[in-house]
């Protein structure tokens, strides 16, 4: 019997949300022994990123997300740092939060 890997999710809503996306869950790294074929990598904030700030190296990183629960990801979740670098944050983003296209000001 094979057990599915599941992410550890910590709900941390913004104290005074200004946008519905501010209430997204933050995600801890997958702590199971998933094989490389059973995970995808998603982009998350490595630190708090204030609205209007440019995304730079060190602000974002990749985290494993089990393929078995891929449907739990927002449809516009980003999977490549190149899609984020040099963009600016449309909203306040908290450390650990998944980065989606809707959080970026497309310049």
Q: What is the pTM of this model?
A: 0.65
Over 80: is that where the pLDDT of 35 sits? no
Give CA–CA dist 77/59, Å, rounded.
Answer: 16
CATH number of the domain within which 96 lies: 3.90.1210.10
Tell whether 68 is covered by a domain: yes
Tell whether 28 is covered by a domain: no
Side-chain half-sphere CA neighbours of 103 within 13 A: 32
Tell whether 49 is covered by a domain: yes
Tell whether 32 is covered by a domain: no
Over 60: is that where the pLDDT of 33 sits? no
Over 80: is that where the pLDDT of 7 sits? no
* 60-99 confidence digits (pLDDT tens): 999 999 988 888 899 999 999 999 998 999 999 999 999 9
Over 50: is that where the pLDDT of 40 sits? yes
Tell whether 75 is covered by a domain: yes
Q: State how many domains the chain has.
A: 1
Q: Which residues constitute the domain of residue 44?
A: 37-107
Determine the Cα angle at 45 with ends 66 and 80, to 5°: 60
């Amino acid at each position: 019997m094979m057990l599915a890997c599941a992410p550890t999710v910590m709900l941390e809503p913004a104290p005074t949300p200004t946008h519905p996306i501010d209430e997204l869950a933050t995600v801890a790294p997958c702590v199971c022994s998933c094989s490389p074929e059973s995970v995808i990598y998603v982009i998350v904030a490595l630190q708090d990123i204030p609205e209007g700030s440019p995304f730079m190296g060190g602000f974002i990183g990749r985290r494993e997300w089990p393929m078995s629960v891929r449907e739990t990801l927002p449809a516009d979740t980003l999977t490549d740092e190149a899609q984020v670098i040099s963009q600016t944050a449309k909203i306040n983003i908290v450390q650990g939060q998944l980065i989606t296209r809707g959080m970026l000001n497309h310049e």
